[in-house]
Amino acid sequence: MNIDSIKNGYVIDHIPAGKGMKVYEKLELNKLNCQVAIITNAKSKRTGKKDIIKIDKNIDINIDILGFIDSNITINIVEEDKIIKKFHPDTPEKLINIVRCQNPRCITSVEKELNQIFTLTDKENQVYRCMYCETSLKR
């Protein structure tokens, strides 16, 4: 398999195997007018298998989405064919419009224009709570 290298853009590496499409959808990469490669089940020394996404364009990426999915994801920023920065996203303290409250009685179920806001209440267990109704959500 041959995937072209990235001249300017991002390589999102160490995505847990099987979550590459979720990252693709959450980052809305289908709306881009550039090359995006999704590699699933690539070999990984660390985890056995991983997914990788390559984006051949410098865009704004919502790092909170990646931190929510898995803070072990590696984000590589590429400029002129060289990785200029490599980092892992932090687990976000607050999620805004990343996930939806599943409580049918939550005000966000009725008032569609309200932001879906969750705050991290238990970092060790990755538990978030809806700002409006306190419904918990585990990553």
CB 69 within 8 A of CB 59: no
Hey, what amino acid is at 130? C
Q: What is the pLDDT of residues 98-114, one digit of tens each?
A: 999 999 999 998 898 99
Domains of the chain are: 9-87 (3.30.70.140), 94-138 (2.30.30.20)
> What is the reported pTM?
0.84
CB 71 within 8 A of CB 90: yes
Residue 45 binned pLDDT confidence (cut-offs 50, 70, 90): confident
Residue with tokens 């224009």: 113
Q: Residues of 105-114 as b/e, b for ≥16 C-beta within 10 angstroms?
A: ebebeeeeee
pLDDT of 3 strictly over 70: no
